[in-house]
Structures are given as C-alpha cells and as structure tokens.
Amino acid sequence: MLLDSPDSSFSELPDFTAESYKDAYSRINAIVIEGEKEAYNNYISIGTLIPEEAQALEKLGKMELKHMKGFTACGKNLGVTPDMAFAEKFFAPLRENFDKGLDQGDLTSCLLIQAILIEAFAISAYHVYIGVADPFAKKITEGVVQDEYLHLNYGQEWLKANLDKCKEELIQSNKINLPIIRSMLEQVEGDASVLKMDKEELMEEFMIAYQDSLTEIGLDNREIARMALAAVI
C-alpha cells in the first residue's frame, strides 16, 4: 500500500543535493538574481523618462530588490554559488537594447523590454519552477510571482493608454526584442531541464502570458499573431 502512494508528483522532484543539480542551479540562480537586479535599475531608469511616475516606478523597483534577496537566499540554502559573470552575459543583448531605448527617450521600447517581455518571461519561468522547486525556494517564488503580475500590469496600462501613439514603435521593438527572448529561452533550456523544467512548457507559458498581455494592451488577434511570428522567423 505504501508503495502505491498516490502522490506521484513527489517522486518527480529532482535531487536538490546532486552535483549536477547544483551546477545547473549556479547559472539559473544567477540569471534570476541578475534579472531582478537589472529590473530594479530599469524601473528607476524608466522613472527618468516619466518623472511624474518616478515614485510609483521606484516602488516597483524596490520589489525587485526584495526578489533579488529572496533568490539569493535560495542559492545559499542549497549551498550554491551563483555564476554572476554568466548571467551578465545572458542579459547583455536585452540590456543593450534597453539602454539604447533609454538614450533615445524611447519609452515604448523600455516598457516593452522590462515591463512586458522580461516580466512575462519571469512569470512563465517562475510558474514552471514552482512545480519542481525545493520547499524553501517554492515559498519564495510563490510570493515573487504575485508581484511580477503587478509589474506586467503596470506596463500594460501605460501602453494601453498610449496605444495610438506607440503602436508602430511597439511592433518595431517587438520585432527586435522577441527573438532575443527566444534565444534566452534556448540558452537556458539545458540547465532548466536539469531542474526538471520543461522547455515546451516554458515556451507555452511565455507565449500565453505575452499574448494575453498584448490583448490587454488592445492589439487585435491578427496584430498579435504577426507579432508572435517574430519569435519563429
């Protein structure tokens, strides 16, 4: 009877103490820490483009610092040292585009990159991770993912309110940045699979979050389909 335990999900969790797990975690954990740190910087930077929103954006940024601390604790808890140099390289293409947008005062691009693409990426990855995380990290990630919805929502609201003015920029910026997200997913898939996170599931979750977000902003199905195609061609 004991062998027939109905809780099969329990046996599907990875071995959190295995060297292979810790090795993969050193990169994934670094990606998440770096992503949260850059998110803080990005929200502060966006605040310089919309001074009347600077305070609200600082509040979002501070949540990111809290997330960073939470994920740092997750690595420590498993005895893993995050490979920060790897993570900085991982984010470099997206960061360069964000900085370019910032220099040009291109608020649409900055919001698309941080508040839509990165947040949707985080939400989808955190959802998948929650199903296979160790108990300590699971609790932390569940708290974090709630905040990420607020961040995604913030970006959506601004883009929705300004869609007439920013639609063309949005479509242009998507063409450049969505393929970068795709390549980031591809780079992380090997390590993610060691953590028992499935690539197809990650992609599916991302596309759902992203398309929902574009719908919320006010794009129609044809426009969304066209934008999503940028990920496959």
Footprint on this chain of ligand PL3 (rule: CB under 6 A): 28-29, 31-32, 35-36, 39, 64, 67, 71, 74, 118-119, 121-122, 125, 129, 148, 151, 188, 192
Instruction: Give every CB contact of residue 32 below 8 A, 6+ residues apart in sequence.
Output: 71
127 binds Fe ion (CB under 5 A): no
Taking the complex as a whole, the smallest distance from the CB of residue 42 to ligand PL3 amounts, in Å, to 9
Q: Indicate which single residue of 34, 38, 106, 148 sits in contact with Fe ion (rule: CB under 5 A).
A: 148
129 binds, among ligand PL3, Fe ion, none (CB under 5 to 8 A by kind): ligand PL3
Instruction: Give every CB contact of residue 136 below 8 A, 6+ residues apart in sequence.
Output: 73, 74, 77
The residue behind tokens 């920060």 is 84
Q: Which of 81, 84, 103, 101 is nearest to 23 (CA)?
A: 81
Calculate the alpha carbon distances from 21 to 33, 89, 137, 190, 229 in Å.
Answer: 18, 21, 14, 11, 34
Taking the complex as a whole, the smallest distance from the CB of residue 66 to ligand PL3 amounts, in Å, to 10
Contact track, Fe ion, 38-57, x by CB under 5 A? -x------------------
Taking the complex as a whole, the smallest distance from the CB of residue 53 to Fe ion amounts, in Å, to 16
